[in-house]
Structure 1
Amino acid sequence: MAPDAETSGVAMLSAELQVNLGTELKDGPGPPPRRPDTGPEAMRRRISYFMFFRLVLVALFALILTYTTWLAEQHTLTPGEWLGWTAVASGFVVTLVFAWQIRPQPGVRTSSKRLRAISWAQSAFDIVFAMIAVGLTGGVDSDLAFLFLIAVLGAATMGDRRQILAVATACGLLYVSLSMAQFVGVLSGLTGPGVGAVIEPAQLWVALLRNAGAIAVVAMLSSYLNTQLLSSVMQLGSLRTLNENIVRSLSSGLLTVDQSGIVLFANPTAAALLGRTGDLVGCDCEALLPGVRGHLDDSGGVRNRFELTVNRVNDNRRVNLGLACSTLLDAEGLFLGHIVNFQDVTDLREMERVLRRNERLTALGTLAASVAHEVRNPLAAISGCAELLEDDVGEEDQRLIRVIRSESARLADIVSELLDYTRPRELVRSNIELGRALVELADSFRADPTNASVELVVTVPKQPVPVELDISQLTQVLWNLVRNGAQAMDGEGRLELELEPRDDHVYLRVRDFGSGIEAAALGKIFEPFYSTKSGGTGIGLALVHRIVEEHGGVIKVESTVGKGTVFTVKLPRRAPTLS
């Protein structure tokens, strides 16, 4: 197919998508708007079309009256001609008045009830106009009897089945009444070709059967076609509504782009996932999803499933998106563009990361438990032998033995931490007053001479904060955090410990004003055997993280190099119930 045809196909697709689906982003969530082909807008258009046709018809009659009144021969206006001109003038006035009433106004939608009233009023005018035209042009023998048929067709165009039947009945009765009035001589006062002439009964019956039958046939056919049209429109509207509901309800983002990468359609979920507001139609897909253009050429191929990391516009949060691209074809297989479907897989990737981490920690824990078990017994023997030798050697040797005992004790502490980490203890929850527990922990911290230069400031609410926690393990968590904070400040400075109850959770914050942690290390500090301190074992924070998770809580860290670090622990007040 020629390039011009392809361009035309893309343009038509764009227009169709924007008309049928594009308003969803503007209207937001909620019931879909009524489509133009099933609501008041469709009725307004149909009325407008027939009003234009009537305007042309009235203009033709004005030309005919002008010819017969002034051009064909010179004479004074008869009452019939006055009536004709009045009907023509009324036709112009009525059409223009109704056109003004149904004119489209920005932001204003004309109600269906008002439009139905206008269509009925215009059908009534069409009936009167047809009756006057037929009466002035020969009655039974008038060549303008077809105007009654036009009135019925007008009702079919503007209204529904009931209006068609009502107008057809009125036209038939008026034509019969007009013919009978002419037959008995009631119209003899009006002048005109054929008006007032003697009508033979056979001629009357033929005219009545011909015209009344035509009106009936046109009415039945128009009614049938009107019913079929409305049924088709309703089915089409239901199908469009179903399609719109499906697209709008998708939990994944959906973009349709043309051959040049311009967005033709975007569902609301796409805008929400990207953190954007407003209509995405017309945007470059590369601007919305940086890196996607390189995959569009392989839509449906091996590279059609991939992931991208983008920054949401509204909150600048980085999210992982899983995308799939496919080609967009028309019914004849013509390539029109691409379909891009994507989902937020950030939580899934985080779960995979946690799973891999747990698998790695399990392996490390098994190894660490084995090593700790094998080291503990020889270490105890070394420490015992050094203690026995201390009294039987000289002063210099005693100093060396004390070093052996001190380092053995430090190694024993490391082994104990390893065992605590690799062999978790079952939580023993008890009802405690958390504020008092924090004050007691602070007193123990201040009692240690090595912390004499550290100012530990404890902030707790005046009201008691009852919680259901394992106090021994929670104390281990807080002790590790405050000890790390003191070490980060080289044993001197201000250290803050804060308790904040909020709804069904409590928040514990430990803030130091030390050297801080580099951004590259923040994601690793809770991994075992990773430490930012010289000589650190990397077990303390890993143990803290595990204990907090076992309590159903979350621990987060924020740090600025040179300014300090804040650890925030969020814990539920009560043990979670198992459903």
Structure 2
Amino acid sequence: MPARPPSLLPEQLSLVGNSDAQLRERFQLLTAARVMVCTVIFGGTVAVYLAEGHSLDDATPKLLLSVIIAIYAVSLVYALQIRVAPRGRLQRLTAVSIALDLAAWTVLAYATGGAGSPLSTFFGLSTLTAALVLGGNGTLWTAVSSLAAYGLLALSGALGLVQPPSDQLHIPHNPIETTYQMVVTLTAIVSITAIGGALADRLVVTGDALLRVEASRVSLIALYEDVLRSIPAALVTYTAEGLVDGANPFAALFLDLEPVEMLGRPAHEVLPFIPRVALDGDAGSSSGDARLKTSYREIPVAYHVAPLYSHDGSRRGGIVVVEDRSHEEGLRHAVETSERFAQLGHLAAGLAHEIRNPLGAISGCVELVRETATLDSEERSLLATVSRDVARLNDLVTDMLQFAKPRMPDRSPVDLSALTRDVVALARSSGGPEARVLIKLRAEQPVVATVDAAQYKQVLWNLLRNAAQASRVGTEVEIVVSATEHEAALRVLDRGPGIEPELRARIFDAFYSGTARGTGLGLAIVKRIADAHHGRVEIAEREGGGSVFSWVVPRDVITAQVAGPSEPTGELPVGSPSSAPRHDPCCRRSLASTASTKSRVYSTAEVTENTIDSTISH
């Protein structure tokens, strides 16, 4: 925003404030004034004596110059002490300084005529100085001391107790003249004391009021700046000529510009996404939606343009507020996606019922025919092809149903390492793509996390199958289970061709597959389950070639008995590839049962997400 206007800071209120800095500044002014007065006296003494042909070795100039040199020396000591003296010591130093001033004025008055010396007015100046520097009590004590010093000087001269310097003529004192001089000088000191005291009181009151006003002003300016700094929106002001003259810190961050790059530039260059006519000097208020393009992103924004008026009501330019609409757009997208998934869920449920009925009949008939002993090798090959395609269709239906109608995770503390060993053991004996690669498991230590055990198996099976399909036969697929204090991670590392960076953003989209036989739902289900667990899925390149898929979720460990199987159960969640179930004995029995009854059908309502047998009705 525009620079802070000039401020009457407390440090400038040196005559009215009472802080350490202000007291130190007043003391510096007092010292400087003392040195200036002494310099004038010093120069005047030298000039007068030299002009009249007198010697500076006479008693009077010697005394005057000695006192002035002493004042110079003391002032130098003051200048050194004032920089480091604490508050209490500074006040004492000020009092001592005024006391020494009174002593110096007494000697100077004695050397220049005694009670009738023109320098006797300095006693009143010391009182005024005390009023400005020390306040009421200091003024009173200085006035009493000044009266006492001058009275002592006048009486000692009148009574002959103190003789003038030897180079001065001894003139007998006239009592009337001496009394008159004393009355005039004492009256002046008392008057100056009264005026100084009143002035000190008025300065204190005025100073306190000014300090309160200044403190309020500074506080309001700070509040103004804090508000502008804290507003989660870009705020830009521009002049009537259309040049940017202010912006809050969020604007620089939001617009991806340095503050110095904005100031002085045309507003339509800093805000190119806003129609130029809206920024015109004569335009009224306007608002709209736009897309903000920066060097690294494009985000939806809403802008509001309004005239900016000065305190006298004249228009001085305009003000623009730009808000980030990414969150709102994300929510809208999420609602639309949820609605589409709801529709897809209803469609998938109906399709699953309509498709699985004939699939069950086809699968049963094929299995029944394959048991015929008279089939030749070509016929058996054709039947095997039919079985594989039926299984693939069944996989697609299962994945669609799982993706379209996800359930909320039933979380409990489980040992991810134990669950991983179960899935790996089954995968190695499945006979599918998972069995054609070398699975290296690194899950020796228990890793406890609060997750849905069945959905975790689903994630691992999908990632393992994806890695096996991407890798060549005999290559190594590594599975790593690890944890930090707050997160648990499952990582599957393959030796496939890798994934291009531009494709990584789409790899988890539904129905996007990198293989000809893939359904495009396996990785989408992985991400859906990660989102349901408030986790994330990451893709990275593997050193030496290949990809690393990481499924990371919060541990949320609670002190309870760890749930989940410790021995292989042979169970996997819905969506697991049916190539493993078709080689499992229990599935063979299920197929045989289907073939024998010929009337059994696949029921969508009976599909369970907890066992590998969910691909076949029971």
TM-score (norm 2): 0.70
The CA deviation string for residues 186-237 of structure 1, in whole angstroms up to 9 with x for no partner, is 3444576898622324654344223322233223313432453355236524
Once the 2 structures are TM-superposed, how far is the Cα of residue 359 of structure 1 from its aligned partner? Answer: 2.3
1:62 paired with 2:42, answer: yes
1:479 paired with 2:461, answer: yes
2-structure distance, mates of 1:399, 1:89: 123
2-structure distance, mates of 1:306, 1:193: 98
Residues 554 and 571, structure 1, Cα contact 8 Å, conserved in 2: yes
1:236 paired with 2:214, answer: yes
Report the counterpart of residue 129 of structure 1 in structure 2. 104
Single out whichever of 550-559 and 112-121 deviates more from structure 2. Answer: 112-121
Task: State the percentage of identical aligned residues.
Answer: 22
SS where residue 567 of structure 1 aligns?
strand
Residues 557 and 566, structure 1, Cα contact 8 Å, conserved in 2: yes
Residues 127 and 192, structure 2, Cα contact 8 Å, conserved in 1: no
Report the counterpart of residue 530 of structure 1 in structure 2. 512
Single out whichever of 389-398 and 540-549 deviates more from structure 2. Answer: 389-398
Report the counterpart of residue 183 of structure 2 in structure 1. 205
Single out whichever of 254-263 and 89-98 deviates more from structure 2. Answer: 254-263
> CA distance change for structure 1 residues 385 and 188 in 2, over 3 Å: closer, same or farther?
closer
Once the 2 structures are TM-superposed, how far is the Cα of residue 475 of structure 1 from its aligned partner? Answer: 0.1
The CA deviation string for residues 129-180 of structure 1, in whole angstroms up to 9 with x for no partner, is 2222333334443333331233234335555554444333322332333334
Once the 2 structures are TM-superposed, how far is the Cα of residue 112 of structure 1 from its aligned partner? Answer: 3.9
> CA distance change for structure 1 residues 257 and 121 in 2, over 3 Å: closer, same or farther?
farther
What are the ranges of 5 or more consecutive residues in structure 1 without an aligned counterpart?
Answer: 1-9, 21-33, 104-108
2-structure distance, mates of 1:193, 1:248: 74
What are the ranges of 5 or more consecutive residues in structure 2 without an aligned counterpart?
Answer: 560-618
2-structure distance, mates of 1:341, 1:153: 56
Equivalent residue runs for 1:455-466 within 5 Å: 455-462=438-445, 464-466=446-448
Report the counterpart of residue 119 of structure 1 in structure 2. 94
Residues 528 and 538, structure 1, Cα contact 8 Å, conserved in 2: yes
Residues 540 and 548, structure 2, Cα contact 8 Å, conserved in 1: yes
2-structure distance, mates of 1:255, 1:377: 57
2-structure distance, mates of 1:232, 1:80: 48
1:454 paired with 2:433, answer: no
Residues 494 and 546, structure 2, Cα contact 8 Å, conserved in 1: yes
2-structure distance, mates of 1:533, 1:287: 56
SS where residue 443 of structure 1 aligns?
helix
Report the counterpart of residue 54 of structure 2 in structure 1. 74
Report the counterpart of residue 83 of structure 1 in structure 2. 63
Residues 289 and 301, structure 2, Cα contact 8 Å, conserved in 1: no
Equivalent residue runs for 1:417-566 within 5 Å: 417-449=399-431, 450-462=433-445, 464-559=446-541, 563-566=545-548
Report the counterpart of residue 75 of structure 2 in structure 1. 95
1-structure distance, mates of 2:236, 2:136: 40
Single out whichever of 149-158 and 184-193 deviates more from structure 2. Answer: 184-193
Letter in 2 for 1:472: A
2-structure distance, mates of 1:70, 1:80: 13
2-structure distance, mates of 1:336, 1:235: 27
Report the counterpart of residue 293 of structure 1 in structure 2. 270
Once the 2 structures are TM-superposed, how far is the Cα of residue 58 of structure 1 from its aligned partner? Answer: 1.2
> CA distance change for structure 1 residues 499 and 257 in 2, over 3 Å: closer, same or farther?
same
1:372 paired with 2:348, answer: yes
1:361 paired with 2:337, answer: yes
2-structure distance, mates of 1:116, 1:273: 52
Residues 309 and 321, structure 1, Cα contact 8 Å, conserved in 2: no
Once the 2 structures are TM-superposed, how far is the Cα of residue 478 of structure 1 from its aligned partner? Answer: 0.9
2-structure distance, mates of 1:410, 1:471: 25
The CA deviation string for residues 331-383 of structure 1, in whole angstroms up to 9 with x for no partner, is 6789999999889x6xx73x445434432332332232233233234423433
Letter in 2 for 1:541: L
Equivalent residue runs for 1:42-57 within 5 Å: 42-57=22-37
Report the counterpart of residue 589 of structure 2 in structure 1. none
1:216 equivalent among 194, 217, 223: 194
The CA deviation string for residues 490-538 of structure 1, in whole angstroms up to 9 with x for no partner, is 4552222111122243222122232222223323333323334334333
Report the counterpart of residue 607 of structure 2 in structure 1. none
> CA distance change for structure 1 residues 352 and 124 in 2, over 3 Å: closer, same or farther?
same
> CA distance change for structure 1 residues 340 and 379 in 2, over 3 Å: closer, same or farther?
closer
Once the 2 structures are TM-superposed, how far is the Cα of residue 419 of structure 1 from its aligned partner? Answer: 1.7
2-structure distance, mates of 1:171, 1:189: 21
Report the counterpart of residue 6 of structure 1 in structure 2. none
Q: Note the aligned Cα RMSD (angstroms).
A: 4.8
> CA distance change for structure 1 residues 575 and 238 in 2, over 3 Å: closer, same or farther?
same
Residues 408 and 532, structure 2, Cα contact 8 Å, conserved in 1: no
Residues 383 and 404, structure 1, Cα contact 8 Å, conserved in 2: no
Once the 2 structures are TM-superposed, how far is the Cα of residue 551 of structure 1 from its aligned partner? Answer: 2.6
1-structure distance, mates of 2:68, 2:383: 126
> CA distance change for structure 1 residues 515 and 228 in 2, over 3 Å: closer, same or farther?
same
Residues 414 and 537, structure 1, Cα contact 8 Å, conserved in 2: yes
Once the 2 structures are TM-superposed, how far is the Cα of residue 414 of structure 1 from its aligned partner? Answer: 1.5
Once the 2 structures are TM-superposed, how far is the Cα of residue 287 of structure 1 from its aligned partner? Answer: 13
Equivalent residue runs for 1:240-319 within 5 Å: 240=218, 243-244=221-222, 247=225, 250-252=229-231, 283-285=260-262, 293-294=270-271, 298=279, 302=286
Once the 2 structures are TM-superposed, how far is the Cα of residue 467 of structure 1 from its aligned partner? Answer: 3.4
Residues 515 and 561, structure 1, Cα contact 8 Å, conserved in 2: no
1:177 paired with 2:152, answer: yes
TM-score (norm 1): 0.74
1-structure distance, mates of 2:382, 2:74: 117
The CA deviation string for residues 306-328 of structure 1, in whole angstroms up to 9 with x for no partner, is 886668xxxx9999999989999
Residues 288 and 302, structure 2, Cα contact 8 Å, conserved in 1: no
Residues 126 and 151, structure 1, Cα contact 8 Å, conserved in 2: yes
SS where residue 118 of structure 2 aligns?
coil
> CA distance change for structure 1 residues 310 and 125 in 2, over 3 Å: closer, same or farther?
farther
2-structure distance, mates of 1:52, 1:320: 64
> CA distance change for structure 1 residues 388 and 570 in 2, over 3 Å: closer, same or farther?
closer
SS where residue 467 of structure 1 aligns?
strand
2-structure distance, mates of 1:99, 1:304: 64
1-structure distance, mates of 2:131, 2:32: 15
1-structure distance, mates of 2:210, 2:63: 43
Which of these two proteins has the greater Rg computed from alpha carbons?
A: 2
1-structure distance, mates of 2:540, 2:181: 103
SS where residue 127 of structure 2 aligns?
helix
1-structure distance, mates of 2:297, 2:440: 34
Residues 143 and 189, structure 2, Cα contact 8 Å, conserved in 1: no
Residues 497 and 508, structure 1, Cα contact 8 Å, conserved in 2: yes
Once the 2 structures are TM-superposed, how far is the Cα of residue 474 of structure 1 from its aligned partner? Answer: 0.8
Letter in 2 for 1:360: E
